Structure formats: C-alpha cells, structure tokens
Structure 1
Amino acid sequence: MIAAVLGGVLAGLLALRVYQRLAHPFLWADVVYYCKLRSYGKTLRARMQRGIVSYLDCFLHQAKENPHKPFVVFENQTLTYRDAERRSNRFANAFGSEGFAKRGDVVALLMFNEPDFICAWLGLCKAGCQVAFLNAGAKAPSLRACLRSCGARTLVVGADLAGLVNEAWPDLKEDNVAVWVMDHTSPSEEFNSLLDKVEKMPGECLSDLPKVDIMSNFVFIFTSGTTGLSKAARVGHMKAIVSMSFLHMCGGRSDDVIYITLPLYHMSASLLGIGGCIHLGATCVLRRKFSASQFWKDCVKHNVTVVQYIGELCRYLLNHPPVPEEKTHRVRLAAGSGLRSDVWREFVQRFGRIKIREGYGLTEASIGFLNYTDEVGPIGRASYFNKLSMPFELLRYDPQTYEPVRTPSGRCTRAPTGEAGILVAPLTAMNQFLGYAGNKVQSEKKLLRGVFKAGDVYFNTGDLLMHDHRDFLYFRDRVGDTFRWKGENVSTTEVSEVFGPLDFIQEANVYGVSIPGCEGRAGMAAVVLRPDHEFDGPTLYKHLLKTLPAYAWPWFLRVQTSLDVTETFKQQKGKLVQEGFDPEPSTRQPPGVTWLESLAL
C-alpha cells in the first residue's frame, strides 16, 4: 500500500515536472533570480543600517575591508583601494583649501578615462559637491549650454581637453566659470592648475564628511543626444547605489578582473562599471578609449575575466581581423546592453564560451531588466516575479504621434502580447525621476498622468518593447525610430538585423524618410561595405524577399565609408533623416545615395 502511494506521488511529481518544463520552462530561473534580488535587497538594508547609504560610503567600506587589493589598473599604473582613497582625500582637501568647491556646489568634470577622473569625482563627493559629467566629445559651442543647464560654475578639465575649453572660454568667462586643469601647470593665465595643489595636500580623510539624503541628487549625467541637444539628467543616490548591483546580478565575483573601455562620463561605465567593481570589491582594468585592435591583447595581458559592452562595441570586435589573443583570453562573462541577435550569435561563436548577460536600463530612472537566461536576443523577462520587484507596463501607441492610445474615458491601454508598446513604469521611491536640470518642459514630457486611474503618474521611457508569449522582453526601437509604411509599423532595429548575414555589408543604420505624396515614411538604410567587397544588389534583393515583408524593405540605400555614432556607439539617425533622398535622376542627389529602382514604389 505504502509503495503504491509513493509510486503515485512520484508519478505525480514527474508529471508536474514535465508540465513545468513544457509550459513554464523558465520558472526556476525566474524564481532563482527573484530570490537573488530579494537577497540583495536585504543586504542593502543591512548596509544602510550600518551607515553605508551612498556610492561614496560603499567605496569607503571597500577601502577599509580591502585596502591592499588593486582597484584600478590603467596603462602602467595600479591603484589599490587605499591608494584611491588617499588620493581622493587629497583632491577633497585641495578643493576645500583653494575655496572653489563648497558643499552643495555643482562642479563639472570634463575628462577622458583615467584614474584621476575617479579620484577627483570621489574627492568632490567628500567635499559635499554634486558632480556633472560632461561629454568629452562635446564641441565648444555646447559647453556653455551644458554648464548653464546643470548650474555649474566650476569646471575641472583634463589636460588633453584644455584646448576645447580654451575655444569656449569667451562664453564661459562671461558666466564667471572657474577652470581648473588636471595638470601641474596651466596652459593659460585664465585657467588654474590643479595637480600641483593636490600633491601638496595630506592624504587623510576630511573629519566631517557630508551626510547624504538618499532621495536627493547625486550626479548629473548628460544624455547622448542622438536626437538633439544633450540633457542633464539628475541621478539620485538611490539610483546610483542600486546601479552598483548590476555586475553582481550578472554573475560577477570579488575575484574578477573587469575590463572597462566605455567612457566614464556615461552611466554604464561610472555607475554600473566602476560602481559594480566597488560593490564586488573587484579590480577594474580601465582604458582611456575603446580599441578593437587592443581589446583582446589587454584581456590577455591583465587576465581579464569580465568585459563590459554597450551598443555596437561587439560588432567592431567582429569586424576586426582575427588576433591570436581572441582565442587565449580568460573572459567568462560579457555584461552590457544593445547587443543585437545576429552579433550575439557570431560573437559567441568566434570568441569562445563567453556568457552574455544582456540588460536594459536608463540614465533618468531605475526601470531596468536583465536577461539572466541563455536565450539569444531578449533584454529581460516579464515574469510574474519580475513584475513584483519592478512594476512596468507596455502601452499601445499611435504610430503617427507616438503618443499612448487612450480610451474615450482618457485611460491608456496595454499592448497585447507580441505587439510592441511604449515602456512605462510607475514613479515610486525605488523608481525615481528627478528630471532634467534646467529643462522643466522636457522633464514634464517624460511623465504620463492618469494612465490607468486618476492621479497615477508613470515615467515614459520613450522606448518600444515587445513582450512575447514566453514572457521574454525584446527591445524594438526608440519612439521616433519606428516608422509606418503601407499601413504597417516597421522596426528599424529588426530591419538592421536582417543586414547582418550579408557578407558584403559591415554595418547598417535604418530609418524612415518622407516621400512627397505618400502617407507615412519609407524605409532607407545607410550602409558600410566590408573591406574588399562590392555592393551586391541582386543578393540583397533575394535576401529581402526571404526575410522581410515588402512594406519593411529599405527602399533607398546610402553607401557610406562610416556611420556616425555617439561615444557609446549609438547610431545617429537625425541628420540622415533630415537629408533624406532625391529620387529624381535629373537633380543632384545627396552624396552616397543609391535608389533601388528594382524595388519600385
């Protein structure tokens, strides 16, 4: 009798297991990840009870616990956690003694990647200042606008960028901006040198570090400006400390050596990358700029185990000729965002058994996802457990105005499974939006009110995501990138991926252009050919026939030698959309534009 009961129970459990594998194959992965999030939440609360409530506090904790462990490796220089702690103290003491940084001030930092970027940043935090990270690729005319928007009247600039500031000096001088150059001497009488003051300062910590309101602003990070002028996003202390868990959630460990080539003035490198190293107590190998030719050589030289990527960085590595080091490295994990499916598969095939952890996040808010499975393509999961920890919705939208569709009662509607929708998330204590500095109009545009009921407020990411029947989330496009043609919505990201298998095309940037007398926008693609390859129109035509419906084809091609991208490898579309095309053979066409006459409109 007992044997029969046990047999029945085992059979039932087996049937339940089979059902789970068939109907909910990722259930246990979802549960494990949810438990990991809960565990991190408990750790975070325990740290806060011990007074570790900010990014700076986390660094000070690691400097105390692991003083002799290498923190930053840069070129031929290595700083331990204690070294970085003492040097940041010297910066803090110099800022205070020179009187150019007072508590509450906003100080702008304009530098390429180097250890003193981190030490100066931490020193300013110790002095009670808010730091504004300026884009090192900015042009002189925009510097004044950036400084004005965030309210900075002091600028710390790297020695190699002093020339840029000198070009903008007439405007900055009118605003009484004080410039401090990260060098022992100043290239101009109008500027102040900083390093000669820093190295005379004691390395002891300030006696009265400022207390932090975790709900207040921490840093200003400028958006990449793919569609216009950069905006200064306010990033709060809560957002910063949560961001530090990214590498840990991806599977990073304290014994990892993490390679960061992304610019520190963007969130990915500063909060997720350096912050992730601090959270783990790991070592960071920092490079001034990304180099495809040196990438794997650096990984072998420094025994790198984790690399951080964003955008098209992985595609650049694939386009580079093979090097011996790409087979002898010890990299086990690549964490980041923006990796397209075609590149993902080829990257893993060529560079070895590297676990990819693709995520999604924003500078302005804390909504984010992580694909913790080995499924190629998704940016995360939309399971029941994940929505418990990070509530969000995908809303139907009008493809002409890109505004959410509202019912007669004024409420928004959810996008059905399999259809792209605008990602929105309710504003909460954990999902703050502090707005853009000096830009109330743009700040208000990011908020949706009365979404599902009177009084609710949601943050509008402006990104289009798709939730499939297996609860995976896929990034489709940014609002404005998706276009409508022949009554159908076309995702530029999806069309770009179709170009991936073509051996004569190296890169493709897809966008929509207006055609006089036609509704909507037709597809157009700017492409870069691979070296020693010619454009093959018949092959492209056959490939499009097999892979895309006719309405999604790019009807116009523009062959270029390179594509414009931001410092984080996001493709620039605005200028291309404005230049459009000219189908009249009797008139002058923009350089490099080819009209596919075989694909007659």
Structure 2
Amino acid sequence: MPTALDPFSAALKTATSFVVNAVEVLRFGGLQTDEEPSPFEIVARRPMFRLRRYCATSAGAAGIGDVGTGSLGRGNDDAAGIDEDTAPRPPIVLVPPMMISADVWDVSPSTSAVAALHRAGMDPWVIDFGSPDLEAGGLERTLTDHVVAVSEVIDLVGAATGRSVHLGGYSQGGMFCYQAAAYRRSRDLESIVTFGSPVDWRGNAPLGVPEDVVVSIAHVVADYVFSDRSLPGWLASTGFRLLDPIKTARSQVSFLRQLHDREALLGHERQRRFLAGEGFVAWSGPAIVDMMQQVVIQNRMMVGGFVVGDHVVSLADITCPVLAVLGEVDEIGVPGGVRKIASVAPAAEVFEFPIRAGHFGLVVGSVAASLTWPTVADWIGWIEHIGERPDGITEVEPDSVDGSSPTKTVMLAADGAMRVAGLGIGAIRGAGHLAVGALQTTRALGYEALHAAPRLLRLGQIQTGTRISFAKIIAERARAQPDDACFLFSDRVHTYSAVDSRITNVVRGLIAVGVRQGDHVGVLMETRPSALVTVAALSRLGAVAVLLPPSRSLTELLRLSSVTDVVADPEHASKVSEAGARALVLGGGSERDLPSDLPPGVVDLEHIDPEAVELPRWYRPNHGRAGDLAFVFFTRSTGAWQTKLVTNHRWALSAFGTASAARLTAASTVYCLSPLHHPSGLLTAVGGAVAGGSRIALSRGFDPATFDEEVRRYGVTVVTYTWAMMRELVRQPEPARQAHSTITLFMGSGMPRGVWRRIMDRYPGTRVLEFYAGTEADVVLANLSTSKPGARGRPLPGTAEVRLVEVDPDSGAVITGPGGYAKQSEVNTPGMLVTRPRLGVDASVRRLRGLFRPGDTWVPTNDIFERDRDGDFWLLGPADSVVRTEHGPVYPIQVADALGDLPEVDLAAVYGVPGATRQVAVAAVSRWGSATITGADIGGALSSVPADARPDIVHVLDDIPVTTWHRPDSTALAARGLPKAGPQAWIRDPETGGYVRLTKAVRDGPLVADEM
C-alpha cells in the first residue's frame, strides 16, 4: 500500500535527478551518452578538406596526397589509403554546408545517414571542410574553393572505386553539388541528391521575406558586415536557431521539463547538442560575400553565369539525374526555391521527394531515419538499375515550376548611393538643375530614379575639356569592383582588375614600338579579349583606334584613314603586311611563337616585357578629353567606304545613355553579338555594359543554333542586335525541354515590327529597347515604352536638343518660312531630324546655321522621322533611301513596318526602281512559314500608311537578302528591276488605294489601273 510520503519521495527524486542532470549539462554541455559514432577512415587530406570513408572493410598502406595536418578528433588517422570494397557498393559522396560540420551525416546511431546508407548497400564518403577558424588560411576560403574541392573529391572517389559517383548535399552543401556538377558538366556523376537545397534564394527567401528586402540585406552583408570579417561558429548556431525562434523556444522548454528524466532525453541528446552549437563551425568572410553576390544579389544559380575561379558555368550544364528532397514545412530551404532546379537544368531528369519535415529534420531525426534514407537508398538502386523507382518520388518538368521571375531588377537606394560615390560625381556648378532634370527624366522612364541619376548627372556635366574615355571608365570599375567579371569569353571569366592590368601592359608595348598620343592606329581583329583590350589600350594612351572591318578593301581603308600601324591578331597579320602597313600582333599569350611564314616586319607585342619599358614623360594614363577624337568607324551604305568619327563625348553619350535606358547594373550580363568594328558593338553593347558596371558576354558571332545555350551559360540578361538579326533566332525550332529564359531585354536598332512581335512570343516577359544614335550627332533616342513597337522613342537627358524640319522631298533642302527660318514639322508629319549639340562640332561634320535664330548651329542627321502626339519619334528612313514617285515620297521603314505587322509576313523591304520619269516604289515581302498572303492582306496592312506614301507594287519572294549587319538589302533587290506579273504580285489601284493582282508586265510610264 502506498504511504502518505510517496508523493514527497517522488518529488524529491525528481528534483534530485533534475539537479544532477542540470549539473552534468552545465559541466559538459549536455548529457553523456554511450553512443559511438560510425567508424570511418581519413583517406585523403587537402588544405581545403579531409575525405572520410565510412564503414570501409579494409585500408591500404599509402594515402592519396597526404598533405594536410591536424586531426578530426576521431576516426583512424593512420589508415590513409583507399582500397575498394570487395562488394560492388555504389559510392555516394556527401557534402555538408559551410557552417555545419561534417558530423551532420552521423549525428547519432539511430539517425545516422552514413550508417543507414551503408546498411542499404551504399559506399558512403563524406567531405569534411573542418573548422575554418582552426585551419591555415581557412578564413580566406571562397565559394570557388568549396566547389573545386567537391569536384576534386569526385575525381578521388572515382579513381578509388573505378566508377561514377552519386553526389549528395544538405542545404548549402547541395548547392555546392549543383555548382560542382555544372563545373564538371556532369562528368563521372551518376546522380545528384540534395536535401533542402534552394536554387532560387531571391524569389523564395527563407521565412517569406520579400525579394527586395533579401537583396537589400545581402548588399549590406556583402559590402559592410563580412567584407573584412568572418562568421564565428557560435553566431552561426544562434542564427540558425533564430530562423525558427518558436520551435527553438519550444525545444528548450521541452528539454527543461524533461531534464529529470534522463532516459527520455538520451535518445535525442546528440541531436540537441549538435543544434545547440557543437555542430556549427565558422564561416569565412570571402565565402559569405561570394555567396551574397552570386547566389542572392545576382541570382546566378537561376540566371546562369556562375563564376567558379576563372570559369563561367550554368546549372543548365547538369545532365545527370537529380533528386531534390524537400521539406514541406521547411522555412529555410523553401520548397518553391528547391523545385527551381527543374527550370534551370532542362537537360537533366529532375525528381522530387517531399517530406513532412523542417530543414534539419530532412537529414536528422526520426523522419529522416524512416523516410529519407530508405528512399534515397532505393533511388540510388533505381539509378543503378537494381530496383524500381521508390514510391513518393515524382518527376518535375522544367515548365511546371511556378514562381516569380529570377531576373527581376531590384533597385536599391543604397546601391544608387554607392554608384554616385563610385562614379566620382562631385558637387560642381550647375549640378542642382542637372540633378532635377535627371530625376524627372528617370521618373518618366518608369524605374527608380536614384539608380539612373548618377549616370545622367555625369553625362550632363561633361564639357569639352572633361576627362572621360573608354579606358578611364574601365579603370574606375577596376578600382570600385576589381573582382567582378568584366567580360566572359569561351567560358572564361576576365575580371575588371585583370582586364585593367592587361590594358596597362599593352599600353607599354605600344609605347615601346613608337605609338604616341594622337596617333591613328588600326585595329583588325576577330572578336576576342585581345581586341577589346587593344581598343581600351589605345584609349588609355590617347591614340585613336581605327576599327577596320575584315574586308578585301583593306588597302583602300588604310589609305582612307591614313593608318600605317595596325594591331592585328595572328590570323590577320599577313593581310596587314600585304596591304602595306606595319602589323603589331597581339593575342595568343606570351608563350606563342608567330608562324614562320609571316613577313619579317611583323612586331609581336606579346614578346615585349612591359616591366622593361620606360614610360616617356609625356604619358598620362586616361588623359583623353571629351572633345578628343577616340574612334574611327567605316560604313558603306552608299556603295563607297566612308569614315565615321567618334569623340570620347559621343562614346560616353551612347554608353551612359544605354546604361540608363537599359537599366544596366552589376547584376546584368550584356550579350555583345556585334563585332567591335561595328558602332553598335563598341558604343552601345560594350559601352553600355562598362558604364553600367555590367558583365560583357563576348561572342565570336551570332549563331542561332547555340544562342540559347550561351545565354544560359553566361547568364545573359540583355541581348544586343542590329536590324533583323533576331529574325534568324525566331526561325529556329524551340527545344523540347526549354529552360526558363534569363533574358529581360533585347536592345539595338532597326528591329522590324514583325520580328519584334515574334521575339515577344518566344521570350515572354522580355522587352525590346530600340535606340537611335548617331555616330556624328550628339543624340540618343530610346523607346522606353513596350506599347509602341517600332518607335525610336525620345531623346535621353544629356544629349542634344532635337527638332524636325520640313525638307524638299526631291532636293532634300530645308524648307524655309517667314524670316528665312526653317519650318518645323507638325505632329505626324515627316521631317528631317536635326540636332543642336551641347559641345563643339568637329570640322568634318556638316553643319546648318541660322535655322531658328541668328547664329545657331544644328547638325542634320539626314534621317526622316515623324513625331506623334506623345512626343515619340518614328524613323521613316534615311533621306537617300526615300523613293520619290509620281504620287509623292514613299518612306521605306514606314511601309516595311506596316507590312511586317501581318502575321503571314517574315520580312519586308522597300526600294525604288527607275521609271520613265520618276521612280517606281516596290515592296517585297517573304512569307512566314507556309502562310498565304493575299492582296486583301496587303491592302489592309498598308491602310495605316498615307495613300500617297504607299508602294506602287508589292510582291512575294522566297527570301529577302540581308547585308552583313542583317539589314534588308534593298540595293540587291533594286538591281533585279521591276517584278514580273503573277499570282503573288499586286499593283496599287490609284482610285481605291487597294491592291489587285498584277496580271501583266509594267510598261514604262506612270502606273495606271488599266495596266493591271
């Protein structure tokens, strides 16, 4: 029978047990258990890691590169060899996160991942990064160091086992697995298994934090908090627990309430102590900064262009099967972010296995023991073709993953402020009203004003004597963001600091061979890093870069530009010598030997030691002024070569204007498809990217077949084009498994409206930004509205004032009105665009004086525009391309755009054919696919064109030829003469304005209805 003292005795016993256990916890940090860790061998040591092999049956005598020192604290340090098991066990390499120790795979016997996988027939290996604060150089580790370490371990385990490897990673360790697999292009990998590893941290942030807040925090963390310090292990543990404070508090209360019951606590004690701090290690500052920059701010796992050392990779390079284990209640590895692997790795079969667990419960605890590890073992068996696919695992298609766009531009006030400082914008006279104007304009652009204001302010402050140049902006970027990628080429990354150093070395080489400030030096090179460096080096030196196109007319071009020295790549050196100029060869590296058949006068700049060059006293780097001539381009629009002169100011105008209008940031990657000898390549694509601090993806040339692949690999967000270049792209069939597009913007000049529409259909959510920029006129027009395809938009701030003036359609002379001043064109009335430059005008540029008041100076562009009621400008065509017919001028671009609005039309071109007294306006169209075009279609499309400005004849061709720059070749079409009669040719009825079938050949003389 129980006595009255039994409750008191029970309470006393409980209190005593509580005190004893509490003392043990305070003394040792937790309760002592009799659990032993799973046995393992340290089979390889490197400065970055130690490689553990768990439950190995034998050990050899020799280690693999035993270069490390220190001890893991347990395991067999002496057994450093690798011998393959007698049983053919599939090897699986497990990767921990940076801030959690490798023991996460073996926290306790009941929940040990390595023990469970070994029992299931696997051969488990674990990467141990150690504790960085205890390793030599550990706090200097970068994200690249971890990814390369994982790749090296794959090689080690593959060599030891003689077969491909399964790769598994928890949380950030899973991100390492994805990155390493992309880095290796899935070489020697059987499969990847990740546990709560997000791919999209921005659109699916922990705890549902808004994307802009996540990016703001990442900027602060990268730029201020961990730029010069690391994260200690105790703080990592605290931060991990604070991510779910309610659960943490409940666990602590539950532990205290059961502290008297030792047996009840022992089963979870190892797990509790692990989370309480024993399982966490320090996190190096450089690795944190790298993760914030690439994974969060730039979102490189989603958009591609992830930098590993000097390589650029994309998760689209993963081709092996992927299993993403996700926690349905995981607040850290949010399921939406984990699933995104399917949308960025279209070449891989991606599967998911959802578990009702939190982040830690995926790999440790009863749920992991009962669900995670048995399913993973069955998955590996299925991949190894020794079992069926486990229940609960489902395949995820790339297009089935929902979520916000990974490339949404996040504009930050802090980032804008830093850009102000980075661009060195000071308080100077007149800055106040310039700032107001810039902010007003950027509000009109529809995005945060502070982001664009620094560029517009700087542009507005430029005067003739202002020091500004292409090389100077690169030097500024090298100081402000030295480790950021400047350009990407052939899967390699070239940082701003490396590019800047290379430019300086090339300058020394040029000085050594006699190039001086102000000299005109030709550049004849294929698109490659050396070409960009050469142009920048000439800019830094103060010489003029004459951009030579690869042409049979090289001798003529050299004579036209008075060039005697040409910097060439090895492929063009002999052509330069044959043309009579001195070839200065650059490219291929200092160890390269020139081919023996090159002329003896060739100078190899790579063999000049820059350190041995004594700089002359006159040399001042980046001393170019805004009014100085910087570049010379060549055009051939009229059949004869012409030079186009570009000053530093005009380059800056295009560069900063592009960066502002295109909203370019450090997170942008600009795909430069035009060569540097084309103005759009150097002024818009490269110039805009450098002005915006963006990455430049250099291309050897536009190849529609590899376009999407390169876009994914480089993480391209902005694509440049000229004229109908993108027409070849939209003609390509879409891949069966298409990853989401990272492109947010196409920018260029001259895209036909039909191509514009198809680009929008193929890449939903993108924009087309049309520019109009003159090489010799200080004007940049930009179409910032997506609702007006074909418009050239409005002038950007800091550029010249523009007006439209009426001109005689035959002579092109400016029509004058009262007082002899020019008559301005009314709304929706054609007129020639004239510009009033802010700075001085080169003597070589044609000028008009006294147009609107005595003594004023204007520069004619010789391009005909209309201006609509909203103030947007529409290009109708160059003045010399206008077809002057009996019924009035026909404007080629206006007609071609109207015809291009037909879904059945691929491309349209308008040209004139000489008639008896006047020209006959002919429009040619090509079909889109097998579509049928009728006369009614033609008449309907041209109803938007004024009756007198419609073409006389419209006919269908199988294809329309284009020039080297993808512009419809109207000259080649005009040479064919008038089209023949037939079912696919129509003539304009002057009475009705409609189009009827052309039934017989057109005779000389005016076109009338009886000739139909």
The answer as to 2:595 corresponding to 1:181 is no
> Which of residues 687, 701, 723 in structure 2 aligns to 1:289?
701
State the number of aligned residues: 535
Give yes or no for contact 1:492–1:511 (8 Å, CA) kept in 2.
yes
Deviation of the 1:60 alpha carbon: 0.6
Map Cα deviations across residues 90-117 of structure 1 (whole Å, 9 max, x no partner).
2112112233x12221100011211100
Matches within 5 A, 1:207-226: 208-209=620-621, 211-223=623-635, 225-226=636-637
Map Cα deviations across residues 211-254 of structure 1 (whole Å, 9 max, x no partner).
3232121111223x222223222211111222221123321111
Map Cα deviations across residues 516-556 of structure 1 (whole Å, 9 max, x no partner).
2xx4322223444556x48x5xx331212222257523516
Instruction: List alignment gaps of at least 5 residues for structure 1.
Output: 1-25, 437-442, 586-594
Deviation of the 1:289 alpha carbon: 0.6
Measure the CA separation in 2 of the matches of 1:219 and 1:78. Answer: 26
> Which of residues 144, 152, 156 in structure 1 aligns to 2:567?
156
Measure the CA separation in 2 of the matches of 1:96 and 1:541. Answer: 65
- After superposition, the Cα gap between the structure-2 partners of 1:562 and 1:75, relative to the gap in structure 1 and judged at 3 Å, is farther
Matches within 5 A, 1:110-509: 110-136=524-550, 138-139=551-552, 142-162=553-573, 164-165=575-576, 169=578, 172-173=579-580, 177-182=581-586, 184-186=593-595, 187-198=597-608, 200-202=609-611, 208-209=620-621, 211-223=623-635, 225-245=636-656, 246-324=658-736, 328-382=740-794, 390-407=800-817, 409-429=819-839, 432-434=840-842, 436=844, 443=845, 446-500=846-900, 505-509=905-909
Measure the CA separation in 1 of the matches of 2:472 and 2:798. Answer: 28
Q: Secondary structure at the match of 1:299?
A: helix
Measure the CA separation in 1 of the matches of 2:775 and 2:919. Answer: 30
Give yes or no for contact 2:527–2:676 (8 Å, CA) kept in 1.
yes
Map Cα deviations across residues 371-407 of structure 1 (whole Å, 9 max, x no partner).
2222222545459xx6896411111121112222223
Q: Secondary structure at the match of 1:460?
A: strand
Deviation of the 1:260 alpha carbon: 1.1
- Give me the TM-score of the superposition, normalised by structure 2: 0.49
Amino acid at match of 1:237: N
Deviation of the 1:288 alpha carbon: 1.0
Measure the CA separation in 2 of the matches of 1:164 and 1:543. Answer: 51
Give yes or no for contact 1:378–1:472 (8 Å, CA) kept in 2.
no
Deviation of the 1:425 alpha carbon: 0.8
- Between structure 1 and structure 2, the one with the greater Rg is 2
Q: Percent identity?
A: 20
Q: Secondary structure at the match of 2:860?
A: strand
- After superposition, the Cα gap between the structure-2 partners of 1:327 and 1:483, relative to the gap in structure 1 and judged at 3 Å, is farther
Instruction: List alignment gaps of at least 5 residues for structure 2.
Output: 1-439, 588-592, 983-996, 1001-1008
Measure the CA separation in 1 of the matches of 2:626 and 2:447. Answer: 26
Measure the CA separation in 1 of the matches of 2:803 and 2:970. Answer: 27
Measure the CA separation in 1 of the matches of 2:817 and 2:460. Answer: 41
Which position in structure 1 is the counterpart of 2:977?
A: 580
Amino acid at match of 1:597: T
Measure the CA separation in 1 of the matches of 2:892 and 2:489. Answer: 38
Amino acid at match of 1:462: N
Give yes or no for contact 2:800–2:838 (8 Å, CA) kept in 1.
no
Deviation of the 1:122 alpha carbon: 1.8
- After superposition, the Cα gap between the structure-2 partners of 1:27 and 1:375, relative to the gap in structure 1 and judged at 3 Å, is farther
- After superposition, the Cα gap between the structure-2 partners of 1:256 and 1:297, relative to the gap in structure 1 and judged at 3 Å, is same
- After superposition, the Cα gap between the structure-2 partners of 1:88 and 1:389, relative to the gap in structure 1 and judged at 3 Å, is closer
Measure the CA separation in 1 of the matches of 2:453 and 2:496. Answer: 28
- After superposition, the Cα gap between the structure-2 partners of 1:454 and 1:112, relative to the gap in structure 1 and judged at 3 Å, is same
Deviation of the 1:43 alpha carbon: 4.0
Q: Secondary structure at the match of 2:801?
A: coil
Amino acid at match of 1:414: Q
Give yes or no for contact 1:464–1:479 (8 Å, CA) kept in 2.
yes
The answer as to 2:507 corresponding to 1:105 is no
Measure the CA separation in 2 of the matches of 1:123 and 1:203. Answer: 18
Q: Secondary structure at the match of 1:525?
A: strand
Deviation of the 1:510 alpha carbon: 1.2
The answer as to 2:918 corresponding to 1:520 is yes
Measure the CA separation in 1 of the matches of 2:467 and 2:713. Answer: 35
Q: Secondary structure at the match of 1:336?
A: strand
Give yes or no for contact 2:883–2:912 (8 Å, CA) kept in 1.
yes
Deviation of the 1:575 alpha carbon: 4.2
Measure the CA separation in 2 of the matches of 1:363 and 1:76. Answer: 32
Give yes or no for contact 2:771–2:781 (8 Å, CA) kept in 1.
yes
Measure the CA separation in 2 of the matches of 1:72 and 1:502. Answer: 39
- Give me the TM-score of the superposition, normalised by structure 1: 0.80
Q: Secondary structure at the match of 2:626?
A: coil
Amino acid at match of 1:77: R
Measure the CA separation in 1 of the matches of 2:627 and 2:824. Answer: 30
Deviation of the 1:32 alpha carbon: 6.2
Measure the CA separation in 2 of the matches of 1:221 and 1:425. Answer: 21
Deviation of the 1:359 alpha carbon: 1.8
- After superposition, the Cα gap between the structure-2 partners of 1:116 and 1:397, relative to the gap in structure 1 and judged at 3 Å, is same
Measure the CA separation in 1 of the matches of 2:445 and 2:709. Answer: 38
- After superposition, the Cα gap between the structure-2 partners of 1:330 and 1:556, relative to the gap in structure 1 and judged at 3 Å, is closer
- After superposition, the Cα gap between the structure-2 partners of 1:343 and 1:554, relative to the gap in structure 1 and judged at 3 Å, is farther
Of structures 1 and 2, the one scoring higher in RCO (CA 8 A, sep 6+) is 1
Deviation of the 1:77 alpha carbon: 2.5
> Which of residues 75, 91, 95 in structure 1 aligns to 2:506?
91
- After superposition, the Cα gap between the structure-2 partners of 1:326 and 1:205, relative to the gap in structure 1 and judged at 3 Å, is farther
Deviation of the 1:417 alpha carbon: 0.6
Q: Secondary structure at the match of 2:937?
A: helix
Measure the CA separation in 2 of the matches of 1:325 and 1:423. Answer: 47
Measure the CA separation in 2 of the matches of 1:323 and 1:405. Answer: 55
Give yes or no for contact 1:512–1:522 (8 Å, CA) kept in 2.
yes
Deviation of the 1:414 alpha carbon: 0.8
Q: Which moved more, 1:240-249 or 1:284-293?
A: 240-249
Which position in structure 1 is the counterpart of 2:487?
A: 72
Amino acid at match of 1:349: D
Q: Secondary structure at the match of 1:480?
A: helix
Which position in structure 2 is the counterpart of 1:588?
A: none
Give yes or no for contact 1:67–1:82 (8 Å, CA) kept in 2.
yes
Which position in structure 2 is the counterpart of 1:59?
A: 474
Measure the CA separation in 2 of the matches of 1:486 and 1:242. Answer: 41
Q: Secondary structure at the match of 1:328?
A: coil
Amino acid at match of 2:471: L
- After superposition, the Cα gap between the structure-2 partners of 1:414 and 1:67, relative to the gap in structure 1 and judged at 3 Å, is same
Deviation of the 1:435 alpha carbon: 5.5
Measure the CA separation in 1 of the matches of 2:793 and 2:901. Answer: 27
Give yes or no for contact 2:899–2:942 (8 Å, CA) kept in 1.
no
Which position in structure 1 is the counterpart of 2:941?
A: 547
Q: Secondary structure at the match of 2:670?
A: strand
Deviation of the 1:154 alpha carbon: 0.5
